[in-house]
Amino acid sequence: MNEMDEDLEIKKEYIQLIVDGKRLDGRGFEELRPIKIEAGVLKRADGSCYLEMGRNKVVAAVYGPREVHPRHMQEPSKAVVRYRYNMAPFSVEERKRPGPDRRSVEISKVSREAYEPVIMKELFPRSGIDIFVEVLQADAGTRTACLNAATVALVDAGIPMRGLITSVAVAKVDGVLVLDPMKEEDNHGEADVPFAFVIRNGRIESIALVQMDGKMTVEEMKKATEMAKKGAMEIYALQREAIMKKYAAVEIEEE
C-alpha cells in the first residue's frame, strides 16, 4: 500500500469489540495488558530496556551524554536530545518497508518533544543524548510502549531528569472507553488517544503528550484522561520496579 492509498483507507470494517461486557482478550475496561520490563539489556548502550506490553515487544537504547555529530548540530548551552522510533520489517503482519516513513518520523518527533522538558539538558552543553527505540513486535500502542521503555533506559543511563515519562492509550470501542487498546480495538474502534504523563515525586505532574485519532465527546475525553492517569500510575510502579531490580541498592534520582 502506498501513502496515498493509506490516506484513502478510511472505511473501517465493523467488528464487535465488547462481548458480554468483556473485551475480546477478556480484559476489563480499565485493565492494562500484561507488562514486562527489564532494564540494562544491552551491553554497548549507556542505558537500555526491553519491554513487553501485551503483544508489543520493544527495545530502547540510550547513548550519551556524548559529543554531537555532525558538530553544527551542537547547542552551546544545552544538550541536544534525539529520539528515533523504528519498526522492524517483521514487527507487523504485512512486512513493513525498512527505514523511516511519515508515521515513524511523526512518532519520533512527538516522543522527543515529550522528553525535552524533562531531561536536564542544561547540564550538558554541546553534547547529545540519543534515544533509539526499536519495535520488534507490534500490536497497537507501540509509541506508548516505546516511551515507557525509553524512560527506563534513560534512568539506566543515569540521565538526570525532572520526572519520569509514563505512557498509555485509551480507546473508544463500541461506545465505551477502554484502557490500553490492543490491535483489534485500535483498528476497529471509534477513537484512540495515546497519553504520556510526567510523574514527579510519585504523582502525575503534567501531560507530555496527547494525540487523538477519531472522535470523543468532551466528557469522554475527561474520563479518558482519568483512566489513562490510573493506568500510567500502574505502569510507573513497574518501571520503578525494573529500575530497582537493576540497582537494588541505589535510590532513584527523583526521591
Cβ atoms of 199 and 164 within 8 Å: the answer is: yes
Please select the residue that binds ligand CDP; options are 141, 163, 189, 231, rule is CB under 6 A.
141
By beta-carbon proximity to ligand CDP, the closer residue of 48 and 167 is 167
By beta-carbon proximity to ligand CDP, the closer residue of 92 and 244 is 92
Q: Compute how many residues bind ligand CDP; rule: CB under 6 A.
A: 13
Nearest distance from C-beta of residue 138 to ligand CDP, angstroms: 4
Nearest to 81 by CA among 159, 186, 195: 159
> Of 19-27, 113-121, 141-149, 201-209, which segment contacts ligand CDP by CB under 6 A?
141-149
Please select the residue that binds ligand CDP; options are 46, 52, 130, 139, rule is CB under 6 A.
139
Q: Note whether 54 binds ligand CDP by CB under 6 A.
A: no
Name residue 245's amino acid: K
> Of 91-99, 120-128, 154-162, 247-255, which segment contacts ligand CDP by CB under 6 A?
91-99
> Of 109-117, 135-143, 202-210, 233-241, which segment contacts ligand CDP by CB under 6 A?
135-143
Burial class (CB within 10 angstroms; exposed 0-12, middle 13-18, buried 19+) of 72? exposed
C-alpha separations of 36 from 123, 161, 169, 174 in Å: 32, 23, 17, 29
Concatenate the DSSP letters of all residues of 195-231 into one string: EEEEEETTEEEEEEEE--EE---HHHHHHHHHHHHHH
Nearest distance from C-beta of residue 36 to ligand CDP, angstroms: 17
E strand or H helix at 153:
helix 142-156
Q: Note whether 103 binds ligand CDP by CB under 6 A.
A: yes
What SS3 class is residue 106? helix
Name residue 115's amino acid: Y
Q: Note whether 140 binds ligand CDP by CB under 6 A.
A: yes
> Of 31-39, 89-97, 122-130, 228-236, which segment contacts ligand CDP by CB under 6 A?
89-97
Q: Note whether 143 binds ligand CDP by CB under 6 A.
A: yes
Name 27's Cβ contacts closer than 8 Å, sequence gap at least 6: 33, 178
Q: Note whether 142 binds ligand CDP by CB under 6 A.
A: yes
Q: Note whether 183 binds ligand CDP by CB under 6 A.
A: yes
What SS3 class is residue 149? helix
Distance CA 44, CA 176 (A): 44
Nearest distance from C-beta of residue 250 to ligand CDP, angstroms: 32
Summarize as ranges the residues that interact with ligand CDP (CB under 6 A): 92-93, 96, 103, 138-143, 183, 186, 192
